[in-house]
């Protein structure tokens, strides 16, 4: 049985972190590979470009957060509670990024 690699996930995590702490435009494929601990050849095995990686990573991130955001902005939640809950959600997210 072959070795299972988590390189794709590490690349996706790395690009999100680099985008959040810098910007998409200044983030290079070399920086992404270094952050993820992945060789450039592996990057191109999984993704054709930085844009493809960023898109897939952002979509995965959205899917992870969508259920929580749907609960926060549910029509049954009073408007002020929605704002409070979203502020709490955003604060927790920023704490995670800071770590």
In tens digits, the chain (99 residues) has pLDDT values of: 556 579 999 999 999 999 988 999 999 999 999 999 999 999 999 999 999 999 999 999 999 899 999 999 999 999 999 999 999 999 998 888 777
The helix (H) or strand (E) run that includes residue 62 is helix 50-72
Tokens of 22: 């810098």
Is residue 67 within 8 Å of residue 57, measured between CB atoms? no
- Helix (H), strand (E) counts: the chain: 5, 0
**Domains of the chain from N-terminus onward:** 7-98 (1.10.357.10)
Q: How many other C-beta atoms are found inside a 10 Å radius of the C-beta of residue 15?
A: 26
Task: Give the pTM.
Answer: 0.77
- Give the span between the Cα atoms of 68 and 87, in whole angstroms: 13
Q: pLDDT at position 3, please?
A: 60
**CA–CA distances in Å: residue 22 to residues 25, 28, 38, 72:** 9, 11, 20, 28
- Give the span between the Cα atoms of 85 and 67, in whole angstroms: 13
């Amino acid at each position: 049985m072959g070795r299972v690699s988590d390189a794709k996930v590490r690349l996706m995590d790395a690009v999100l972190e680099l985008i959040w702490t810098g910007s998409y435009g200044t983030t290079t494929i070399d920086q992404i590979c270094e952050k993820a601990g992945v060789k450039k050849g592996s990057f191109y095995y999984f993704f054709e470009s930085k844009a493809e990686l960023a898109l897939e990573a952002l979509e995965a991130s959205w899917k992870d957060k969508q259920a929580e955001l749907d609960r926060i902005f549910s029509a049954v939640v009073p408007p002020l509670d929605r704002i409070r809950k979203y502020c709490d959600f955003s604060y927790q997210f920023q704490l995670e990024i800071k770590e």
